[in-house]
């Protein structure tokens, strides 16, 4: 064997070994969204598109979802490593499945306030929560706003509400047709869907839960206990890369929608820009989020929510807030300081 051949072979083998080591250091992460590829999904698609996860040695795949309940169960089953889900849905899963070994844990708060609201057409005369008493409300049975409505009703003295269930695709149509007096839903989803059915935004009355005494947390990033135990560094790296991407999304929502468009080419770009901006203004960069800090929670508020969910959802066991949340993987306070100051 010639010296030149030996050196060349050694170089090739070294390159192969280095490549293999680099590949081994990249952690695959399966991520489950709570809903379809709409505006708010940019929060996770942008850090993928910009390579922030890749730079963190993570190979993240993002899949669309069909509700927070599904996201929770898929992470619990091990089908997904990390997900995005309504905190109330996570609490319900914990309390109704006390013996399930792999219950997901919230590791970062994203929607500091629940996006849930009651929406009606102003011509119905519904102006305040008290006006809902005796009215017909509509929502899918699994809708977060409907599930939490008893908390909203108790806080505002609402009684004798009659519910109509429907498929999510029919909710806003039934409101516009007059089949129901009001609906519950995420503000940034249902309000724009109502507009898409020919109703002007100024003709819609929106009663947002946080504005009427319901300080529930909204969606959080949830992680599998298996991933937390076996690769805590990956959880920490995911949250830091996500935070970097979230800052970009908040700074330039219009540009971020291009990353959503790349995953679902049929979305209405202008509509999704508005949806994303509405989500940012109402639940991400809200006064409560700025007071508590992006990504973080406050213990007393979490405990109150746990108690309220236990009562409203009539869970098998009481929600234990200590088992729901693990904030030890959060970026530093400086790294989490991404929320712009409110406009005067």
Placement of tokens 């746990």 in the chain: 306
Nearest CA among 137, 273, 274, 116 for reference residue 208? 116
Dump the DSSP string for 21-60. Answer: HHHHHPEEEEEE-SSSSSGGGHHHHHHHHTTHHHHTTEEE
28 token code pair: 């695959």
The pLDDT mean for the chain works out to 93
Nearest CA among 220, 217, 242 for reference residue 336? 242
111 neighbors 218 (Cβ within 8 angstroms): yes
36 token code pair: 């379809």
Q: Are strands 27-32 and 58-63 parallel, antiparallel or unpaired?
A: parallel
| H or E stretch at 287 | helix 287-292
Residues 200 and 285 in one domain: no
Does 31 reside within a domain?
A: yes
Q: Provide the pLDDT confidence category of residue 3 given band limits of 50, 70 and 90.
A: low
Q: Are strands 82-86 and 27-32 parallel, antiparallel or unpaired?
A: parallel
| H or E stretch at 92 | helix 87-96
Does 337 reside within a domain?
A: no
Model confidence pLDDT, tens digit, residues 105-164: 999 999 999 999 999 999 999 999 999 999 999 999 988 899 999 999 999 999 999 999
Tell me the CATH number at 131. Answer: 3.40.190.10
CA distances from 233 to 190, 242, 326, 337 (A): 38, 14, 14, 21
Residues 150 and 292 in one domain: no
Nearest CA among 125, 168, 128, 127 for reference residue 146? 168
Does 180 reside within a domain?
A: yes
Q: What is the pLDDT of residue 13?
A: 55
260 neighbors 279 (Cβ within 8 angstroms): no
Q: What is the pLDDT of residue 22?
A: 46
Does 336 reside within a domain?
A: no
268: burial class by Cβ within 10 Å (0-12, 13-18, 19+)? middle
Residues 232 and 269 in one domain: yes
Does 107 reside within a domain?
A: yes
298 neighbors 122 (Cβ within 8 angstroms): no
Placement of tokens 């006006």 in the chain: 131
- Gap between the Cα atoms of 188 and 308, Å rounded: 24
Placement of tokens 């499945």 in the chain: 97
Q: Is 325 helix (H, G, I), strand (E, B) or coil?
A: strand
- Gap between the Cα atoms of 58 and 231, Å rounded: 12
Does 341 reside within a domain?
A: no
Does 227 reside within a domain?
A: yes
- Domain range for 145: 116-212
Residues 106 and 123 in one domain: no
Q: How many structural domains comprise the chain?
A: 2
Q: Which residues contact 221 (CB under 8 A, 6 or more apart)?
A: 82, 83, 84, 106, 107, 108, 110, 238, 239, 242
**Higher model confidence: residue 73 or residue 7?**
73
Residues 151 and 85 in one domain: no
Q: What is the pLDDT of residue 172?
A: 97
67 neighbors 147 (Cβ within 8 angstroms): no
> pTM of this prediction?
0.90
Q: Please, how many CA atoms are within 13 Å of residue 209, restricted to the half-sphere of its CB?
A: 28
In the predicted model, is pLDDT for residue 19 greater than 60? no
Does 328 reside within a domain?
A: no
Sheet holding 58-63, edge to edge: 58-63, 27-32, 82-86, 219-223, 105-109
Q: What is the pLDDT of residue 309?
A: 95
């Amino acid at each position: 064997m010639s010296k030149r051949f030996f050196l060349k072979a050694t170089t090739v083998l070294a390159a192969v070994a280095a490549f293999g080591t680099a590949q081994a250091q990249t952690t695959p992460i399966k991520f489950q969204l709570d809903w379809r590829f709409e505006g708010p999904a940019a929060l996770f698609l942008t850090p993928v598109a910009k390579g922030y996860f890749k730079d963190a040695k993570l190979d993240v795949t993002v899949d669309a979802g069909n509700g927070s309940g599904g996201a929770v169960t898929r992470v619990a089953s091990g089908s997904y490593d990390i997900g995005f889900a309504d905190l109330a849905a996570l609490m319900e899963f914990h309390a109704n499945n006390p013996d399930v070994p792999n219950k997901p844990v919230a590791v970062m708060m994203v929607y500091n306030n629940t996006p849930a609201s009651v929406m009606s057409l102003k011509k119905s005369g519904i102006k305040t929560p008290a006006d809902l008493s005796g009215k017909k409300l509509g929502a899918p049975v699994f809708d977060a706003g409907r599930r939490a409505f008893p908390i909203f009703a108790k806080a505002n003295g609402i009684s004798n509400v009659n519910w109509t269930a429907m498929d999510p695709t029919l909710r806003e149509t039934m409101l516009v047709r007059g089949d129901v007096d009001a609906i519950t839903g995420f503000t940034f989803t249902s309000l724009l869907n109502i507009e898409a059915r020919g109703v002007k935004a100024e003709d819609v009355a929106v009663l947002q839960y946080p504005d009427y005494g319901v300080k529930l947390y909204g969606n959080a990033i949830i992680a599998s206990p298996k991933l937390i135990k076996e690769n805590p560094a990956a959880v920490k790296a995911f949250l830091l890369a996500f935070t970097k991407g979230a800052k970009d999304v908040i700074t330039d929502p219009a540009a971020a929608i291009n990353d959503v468009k790349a995953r679902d080419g049929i979305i209405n770009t202008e509509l999704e820009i508005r949806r994303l901006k509405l989500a940012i203004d109402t639940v991400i960069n809200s006064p409560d989020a700025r007071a508590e800090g992006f990504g973080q929670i406050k213990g007393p508020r979490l405990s109150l929510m746990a108690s309220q969910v236990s009562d409203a959802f009539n869970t098998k066991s009481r929600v234990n807030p200590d088992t729901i949340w693990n904030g030890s993987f959060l970026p530093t306070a400086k790294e989490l300081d991404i929320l712009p100051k409110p406009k005067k």
